[in-house]
Amino acid sequence: MPKKLFLLITCFGALLSSIYAQESKETGFSGDWILKLSVPPADVVGLLTLQHTGPEWVGHVEGGPVVVDVKGDRIEIIIDSRDIAGFIFERRLLGELAGNTMSGTLNIVDQPDSDESGSAWIAHRASESEEIVGESRLADLSGTWVPAAGMDFRKYSMDLTPEARIWHQDYLLHLDQPNVRCVSPGIVAMIAWSAYPSEWLIDEGRITIIYEVGSEVRRVYLDGREPPEYYPHSPMGFSTGRWEGGTFVIETILLSRNVRDFLGEPVSENAKFVERYQLNEDGTTLTAVMTLHDPENYLRSPIRRRQWSRDTDAILFPYECDPDSFFRQLYDEGKMQEYIDRADRRL
């Protein structure tokens, strides 16, 4: 074989090997990951999904789209989030893949003084084995639970359907949001906010949950019953509960049309809301992973995570809301007609 031809074949083979190695490394990022940010005051956890579609990478965190860039064993992820006051910011994750683990550092875009900047992050393959295996602990759910820090990404944008995106673009918080006029925002939004305590009362065949926000009362049936034919759609819906090992699962249907959060993303009457609760060993901390299944409005199901602490001294206060103050302000500002004209915007 001529020397030049041999060298050409050798170089071409090395190039193919390099390309194959690069692609093999990049393919290793595909799949579902449990992503954890080590940020104060408590870790933030979420589901990261990565897909390689042709030359592009598609990523989602908690069901919402993120920007992903993969080169070899290196990865960059930009996640739009919001703080507790509702202001939007971006988390920029830089890291690398090693086996079944990704890890790296976190920085906040345009907010260099953030407490999160410079923090570490890690992700490992998601698996069903992460469910707590154990017996039902129904009695341990009783009592008053107050919000605890951590867990939720507060992912800002979700993967809306085209129809939902069009509807959402014209949403005005100060006119359309249900709770600003003392109307229930529904269980999906109430659980997502989680800024108020709740009390769980255990009875035979049923759990009654009283929420301080809105003074709402919810009944979760444990006997496997189906809703009667005449049962109406409502903000609380119809809820049933069951145990799957050490996880208490609540499924809610028959929700009235509402919003997922104060951002105004819609919830349809055909949606199903699934909450998966787990207790720590000493029964002092309750965590939940909550998924909204609503294909009419979301291409991927939004996920929220929350955590509560048991507080035997906590008291639920009456929730006072005066709708007259809302309408008086509209009248004084000359916006009453605008409010009336937007009647179709109020779910």
Nearest Cα to Cα of residue 134 among 244, 287, 241: 244
Residue 41 has pLDDT above 70, yes or no: yes
- Is 13 part of a structural domain of the chain? no
Number of compact structural domains in the chain: 2
Same domain membership, residue 234 and residue 117: no
- Is 253 part of a structural domain of the chain? yes
pLDDT of residue 118: 86
Same domain membership, residue 279 and residue 191: yes
- pTM of the full predicted structure? 0.88
Nearest Cα to Cα of residue 292 among 305, 303, 280, 284: 303
Residue 171 has pLDDT above 60, yes or no: yes
Same domain membership, residue 145 and residue 102: no
- Is 22 part of a structural domain of the chain? no
| CATH code: domain of residue 113 | 2.40.128.120
Q: How does pLDDT run across 227-266, given as a tens digit for each residue?
A: 999 999 999 999 999 999 899 999 999 999 999 988 889 9
Same domain membership, residue 197 and residue 60: no
pLDDT of residue 130: 56
- Is 133 part of a structural domain of the chain? no
- Is 7 part of a structural domain of the chain? no
pLDDT of residue 329: 93
Going by their DSSP bridges, the two strands 266-267 and 119-125 should be labelled as unpaired
Give the pLDDT band (50/70/90) at residue 26. Answer: low
Same domain membership, residue 262 and residue 160: yes
Q: How does pLDDT run across 332-345, given as a tens digit for each residue?
A: 999 999 999 998 88
3 state DSSP class of 130: helix
Q: How does pLDDT run across 269-301, given as a tens digit for each residue?
A: 999 999 999 999 999 999 999 999 999 999 999
CA distances from 136 to 127, 139, 218, 252 (A): 21, 9, 21, 20
Q: For the chain, what is the mean pLDDT?
A: 88
Same domain membership, residue 164 and residue 112: no
Same domain membership, residue 169 and residue 116: no
Same domain membership, residue 221 and residue 111: no
Residues of the chain with pLDDT > 90: what percent? Answer: 67
Domain that holds residue 122: 27-126
Same domain membership, residue 150 and residue 85: no
More confident residue, 328 or 112: 328
Of 5-14, 25-34, 133-142, 206-215, the range with the lowest mean pLDDT is: 5-14
Q: How far apart are CA 313 and CA 201, in angstroms?
A: 16
Range 110-119 burial, b when 16+ CB lie within 10 A, else e: eeeebebbeb
| CATH code: domain of residue 196 | 2.40.128.20
pLDDT of residue 120: 95
Q: Which helix (H) or strand (E) holds 3?
A: helix 3-27
Same domain membership, residue 312 and residue 341: yes
Nearest Cα to Cα of residue 75 among 54, 92, 61, 87: 92
Q: How does pLDDT run across 131-143, given as a tens digit for each residue?
A: 555 667 888 999 9
Q: How does pLDDT run across 102-155, given as a tens digit for each residue?
A: 999 999 987 655 678 889 999 999 985 455 556 678 889 999 999 998 789 999
Cα angle vertex 60, ends 54, 64, to 5°?
A: 130
pLDDT of residue 222: 96
Cα angle vertex 209, ends 257, 173, to 5°?
A: 35
Same domain membership, residue 334 and residue 186: yes
CB 273 within 8 A of CB 259: no
Same domain membership, residue 111 and residue 225: no
- Is 80 part of a structural domain of the chain? yes
More confident residue, 24 or 339: 339
